[in-house]
Structures are given as C-alpha cells and as structure tokens.
A and B are shown apart, each in its own frame.
Chain A
Amino acid sequence: MSSHISATNLAADASGGVSAKRAIVVGASSGMGAALVVQLVGEGYRVGAIARRAEVLEELQLGCAESAEEAVGEVLVRVHDVTDFGAVPELFEELVRALGGLDLFVFAAGIMPKVAADEFDSHKDLAMIEVNFGGLVAWMNPVARLFQSQRSGTIVGISSVAGDRGRSGAPVYGATKAAMNTYLESLRNRLGESGVTVCTIKPGFVDTAMTRGMDGLFWLISAERAAELILKAARSGATERYVPRQWFVLMTVIRAIPSFLFRKLNI
C-alpha cells in the first residue's frame, strides 16, 4: 500500500504551514504603504505590493532588494487602480496564488486633495469616496471571504485621526475615514468568531507626500516609524490604535468637545 502522507504533509495550507508569512499591501507606492512593504520584506514576508503607478512600484522593488540583504522576503508588484473595482477579484486570486496563501492584508490606499474653505467640488469629493472607501470595500469583500473561510488572517486598515470629528477643513476626507472606521468595526464583528483580527489604525501626522507643505504639524513621525507601530499594533491584536499613541489622549479630549463649541474652535 503506498502512502500519500508525504504529499499531504508538504502541501502548504492556509493556516500555519511551513512556508513564510504572506501579506498584501494595497496602496504601496508611497508613504506608510511603501514603508510597510519594506519592513515586511525585511522580516522575511512574501509581500504583494499593489499601487497605481508602475514606476514607483519598480523603485520599491529595487529598494526592497537593496535594504533586505539578509532577509529571505520577497516582493511581488502589481499595477492596479483601486477604483477599478471589477478587476479586484481576479487580481486578488492571482496574487494569493502567487504568494501561496495570505496571512496579512493592509489597505493603505487613500487620497486627500486640498480643499479650500469655500470649495464645494463634487468631482474632487467623489473621487475621494471612490478611492478611500470604494476601493476599501472592493478589496475587503474578497479578503474577508477568504480569511473567514480559512479561519485566520489579519486585516489592517489605515484610517486617520481625521475620521474622529467633522472638521471644517476636510469634510469628505474625514467622512471617508469615519466610514472606514465603522465599516472595519462591522467586519471585525462579522469575522471575530472565525478568529480573524481586524485592526483600524488612526495615524496622526506622518511625514508623507500627503502632509508635505501642511502647516501646524506636530508629533510628526516618519513613515518608517509609523509602519513599525502599525505592525506592532496589528500583532498585539489591537482593534483600534492611534499612531503614535499620544494621539489617543488628544483625540479623546477632542471627541469630547461639544459640537457648538467645536464649531467655534479652529481645529
């Protein structure tokens, strides 16, 4: 009788196989997304990096190869615009197969065009909704289904402190982040019984293209430092985490300000 044990033993499966950990980062071209890719690869992960601009991904790939001399990690890049909703399922399947499974999914794509105080531009606003929230949902659905079916996986959503209050300066950006927070909370509750963790990250000011040229920044941290803190939070099983953590104190105060007062303050 011939045995098939070796065959099934070698089969890498979703939950705790022999192979390296696998991650996908959507929005990997710059800022925290790029920093997360570099760090994960440095730790030995096989990472699928997704972004809109091919040339930036190439740079990222080169950067990973240089910085990770000793690491065994690997990065696979895919060009994709998160508003191309219909392309997501196929790309996701292809990438997970190429990675040999999936343990961690990070959604870091987001745009924040400048909005002037007297500007009410639907075109700009709807574009933000499409990328920041539409793209999120289009990606989370296949990710959640896969993680639920394999009863494991970690989802990280890069939100923002901007989602905590309706500030006058960024009405739709803040709203997309508030939507993201609620949506991720629902996913967390949906997937909790399956052992899947969903971590909402609320960064403060991070030194990226998004914040460049802004006035009045404080507690500014580098994208690399933010990426470190994000991974730490995700691994600790945190559900929501301000990055860096002192924002928790500040935002608790800000969230407590009554609306009539908040209106008068220049926050």
Chain B
Amino acid sequence: MSERASAYPPSFEYVEGWGMVEGHHSRVLRPASVEEVQDDLEGARKARVSLALRGAGCSYGDPSITRDGHVLDLTRLNRILAFDDESGVVEVESGVTLEQIWKHILPRGWWPKVCSGTMFPTTGGALGMNIHGKNNFRVGTWGDNTLELDIVLPSGELETCSREQNSELFHAAIGGFGMLGAICRAKLQTTRIHSGEIDVVGISTHNLGEMMERMDAQCSSADYLVGWIDCFASGDCLGRGLVHAAHYLAPGVDPEPEQTLTVAHQELPGSIMGFPKAQLWRALYLFNHDPGMRMVNAAKYMAGRLEGMAEPYRQSHAGFNFLLDYVPNWKWAYGRHGRRGLIQYQSFLPADVAERVYAELLTLCQRRSFNPYLGVLKRHKPDPFWLTHALDGWSLALDFKVTPKNRAALFGHCEEMTTIVLAAGGKFYFAKDQVLGLGDPQRFLSTERLEAFKALKRSLDPGNLFQSEMSRRLFGNSFLS
C-alpha cells in the first residue's frame, strides 16, 4: 500500500450502498487534500486499478462501491473554506457535509438552498448525484444552486468550472455520478432566513388524486412540499396520506430570531416516546413486516387526520428537513446482516400522466404483494444538467424491503414497473437506483446529452479510471474509448 505522510493509511473494508443490499470488500483510500487526491489518482493509473468515488455513502444503490478497484473516499476533504454572510455564498471542500454547512451558516441567518431528507451527504456526493429536496419544484437541485466547482480530472489536472467557465464540464459533472473526476471544492449559494423555524401545515388527503390536487394548489406559495403515502391503502383510498407544506417566516414574524437561529434550537430530540434514540431501530425492527407496516402506516394516517384538522405549527428547519435523521440507523430495522436491506424505487413522471401511472404502480405493488413500507410524493422542475433526473412533474419514492428470499422476485417486480414508467416518458435518479439494467438510461436520458457525456468521458478518462458498480451495471463498457 502506498506510503503517505498523513496519518491515515488505506484500509481494507466492506463497503456497501446505503440500502445494504450490495457491498464489496475494497481498499479504501482517504486523501485529505487535493495533492493527496492527485497522488491517489496517479497511483491508481500506474497500478491500472480503477477507482469508485465515495462521499458519505448515502446513495441507496451502487454508485459508490466497486468489486474491482479501490474506493476513493473524499470525506476527509472536510474544511469549510469561506462564508460570506452578505451574499450567503459558502465555499467548501467536497467532503463537507450538509450538516456541517447548516450548522455553520444558520447562526448567521442563512440556510442551505437544497436539503435532502438526511443531513449526512457530502457536498461532493450531493453534486455527483445532483440531489434534491422537498423544494425541488421551487429552487431546483443541488447543482442549480452551485456557482462554481473544482474537479480533479483523471489526468490529475485540477479544473475549475462554472456556468461561464468550462460550462460543459460543469453541466456534465453535476449529476455525472463520479465518472468525470473527483470534485474537490464547491461554491454554493444559500438562502436568507429570518427565523430558525418554519411554518408547517399538515393536509390529510383521502387518495392520490386529492393529494396531487392539494399539492398543486400549494405549489405557487409553499417553499417546501412533500406528500407521505400509505401504500397499503387500496380502492377509493389508494394513495391516501398526508401533505406537508412549509413556508419560511417573513422578517419580523419570529419575535426571537436570535434564540431560534441557534444550533441548539435545531437539535433533534434525544429520545422519542421514552426510547433512547440510538436503540429505537430495534423497536422498528419488530414491526418490519407486512402486517406490522400496514399497522404503522394506518396509525400514521390516523395521526395525519388529526394533524390535518389542527392548526399550522412551527418546527425547526432541521426538524422539518431531516426527517430521516430522527431515528439513527433506522435502516437497520430492515435487517443488518445477510444481504438484507432496502431499495428505494423512485420514478419521475411528467405532470400530465403522473396520477394515472402512479395509481397503476401502487395497484401493481399490491397485486404482486410487494408492499412499499414508505411512499413519498414530490413535485419537481427541470434543470440543465446533462444526466438529470428532474423534469416538470412528480416523483414517487417507494421503499421496499429486500431479503435474500424475495430479492429476485422483487427485482423482477421493479423491472415490470420500469417498463410502465419508461413507456409513460418517465425518468430515474442515480442516487436511488439499484434495479435498472444495462441500456435503460438511454431510454430516459436525452440521446444528444448522453452521447455528449460519453464523448466527454472518453476524452477526459480514456483509461476508464473512474468506475463503479453502477457505471458497469447501467453503461457496460460504453464509456471505453
């Protein structure tokens, strides 16, 4: 293993996707500076070993794992370089997490423009996968709010790009799932806030049609919009659930902004209903089967009925945005061993067909007895990135439990859903995908842009240095020059 002055030697680990259904033993390199990244790239080129880029490993599937090469983990590039509290522009190294960013800027009255459901992703990962949040319909994706980035190309050259400079690379690397180079630094625009809290209203909805109607009605005014769906309900209640719409507070509305704009005010609760948080996944584990989850979903729907009748309330930004972080390691409720885990099947559909197709998907899941344990509906808008998943329409994310036993049949079920989604002009999202097959991306990505991406990949990375399980699964050897 290569010698390095820094204290972190490479290690040999089991590296898995966030959903835990696939992982491999890999050597993990953890460079702490651009120079060390360049060293590692050179070492890999000389040894003819490919590299899979990895941040916090929050992608559900396989974009940050590899069975052949090494893993280049950029989490140690974790310095916040600058923050200008006049403009709200923050400059960070790519291993800086969303958590680090919000904790740094919130006390000064700013908040990240785009927040995923968890605060653990790194900036580099968020850019590579071009992630979105509950406000995609309003502010776009993480890439839309990025002003500039530095990327170390496979050759080792450091390139700066933005909308004006190296614009092609900028639009290809964002959402380019780590194929073009290692993003090492980024400048991000954040948003001004006048309170550490946000106004939230819960709207209980009886079925999918009503949910979409109510969300559409909120679209022009709400800052955030998300619909939770009880995927067990059928018939007239198909797609019943609860919409949360949130609005930023205008200046002066919060009587004590200096109190709410503190990190302490944002902290998620240490225990939930008496359970210590760290062990709560064990309680969820007891319900992690069809009858249990049917019950949990029904109970949540009932609670949502009450919430829908209640007054709007205020919640901290962290509490509202990072729903997935309330229960640490909740994914372990799906099992921790023996290739158990979960996949999230998130499909994106144009506005005019979404309701029909999503109803079809939910019905199909019930018919095949593959009940999603969680369903989340969001509204989206298009963006200019070459391999983007975003469009003018909706997305529905469905969580499925994976066991060694159900795996083959479940993946077959997903394939069936994919046929329906693609036929309706739908798209998919690399941060979530674990199930698409070779050639599927060219059926939902613009041909022109995909070809341009492949050409750029071949010219920047003729030795195919950057590879991952995902790149080989979806693109085979079409990146080879």
Contact = CB atoms under 8 A, between A and B. Distances in A.
Nearest to A100: B25
B418 A145 contact: no
A145 B13 CA distance: 7
Interface string B390-403: 00000000000000
B12 A11 contact: no
B440 interface: yes
B336 interface: yes
Contact of B408 (A5, A92, A145): A5
Contact of B404 (A1, A4, A16): A16
Interface of B: 1, 9-15, 21-25, 27, 67, 336-339, 404, 407-408, 411-412, 415, 418-419, 422, 436-440, 443, 473
Contacts of B438: 2, 4
Contacts of B10: 89
B15 A15 contact: no
15 contacts: A1-B415, A2-B437, A5-B411, A7-B473, A9-B408, A13-B22, A14-B25, A15-B337, A17-B339, A89-B1, A89-B12, A96-B12, A142-B11, A146-B12, A150-B25
Contacts of A13: 14, 22-24, 339
Given A3-B415, A16-B339, A101-B25, 16 more contacts: A1-B418, A4-B437, A5-B411, A8-B22, A11-B67, A13-B14, A15-B338, A16-B338, A17-B339, A89-B1, A90-B1, A92-B12, A97-B25, A146-B13, A149-B14, A195-B337
Which 10 residue pairs of A and B lie closest in terms of their CB atoms, listed nearest first?
A: A16-B338, A150-B14, A149-B13, A93-B12, A149-B14, A2-B437, A14-B14, A5-B411, A2-B438, A15-B337
A150 B28 CA distance: 14
A152 interface: yes
A80 interface: no
Interface in A97-122: 97, 101
Nearest to B27: A93
Contacts of A5: 407-408, 411-412
A146 B25 contact: yes
Nearest to B9: A89
A167 interface: no
Contacts of B338: 15-16
Contacts of B419: 1
B12 A151 contact: no
A92 B1 CA distance: 12
Contacts of A195: 336-337
A95 to B, nearest CB: 10
Contacts, number: 81
Interface string A242-259: 000000000000000000
A90 B10 CA distance: 10
Contacts of A9: 407-408
A4 B440 CA distance: 11
A154 to B, nearest CB: 13
A46 to B, nearest CB: 14
A11 B437 CA distance: 16
Contact of A145 (B11, B23, B336, B407): B11
Contacts of B440: 1
A209 B437 CA distance: 58
Contacts of B473: 4, 7
Contacts of A146: 12-14, 25
Interface string A72-97: 00000000000000000110110011
A155 B383 CA distance: 51
Interface core residue of A3, A7, A11, A90 (most chain B CB under 10 Å): A3
Contacts of A89: 1, 9-12
Contacts of B443: 1
Contacts of B9: 89
A149 B337 CA distance: 11
Nearest to A14: B14
Interface core residue of B11, B22, B404 (most chain A CB under 10 Å): B11
B444 to A, nearest CB: 11
Contacts of B412: 3, 5
Contacts of B422: 1
A152 B15 contact: no
Contacts of B339: 13, 15-17
A19 to B, nearest CB: 13
B217 to A, nearest CB: 37
Contacts of B407: 5, 9
A87 B412 CA distance: 46
A86 B439 CA distance: 45
A150 B338 CA distance: 10
A95 B320 CA distance: 47
A13 B341 CA distance: 13
A96 B440 CA distance: 35
Nearest to A93: B12
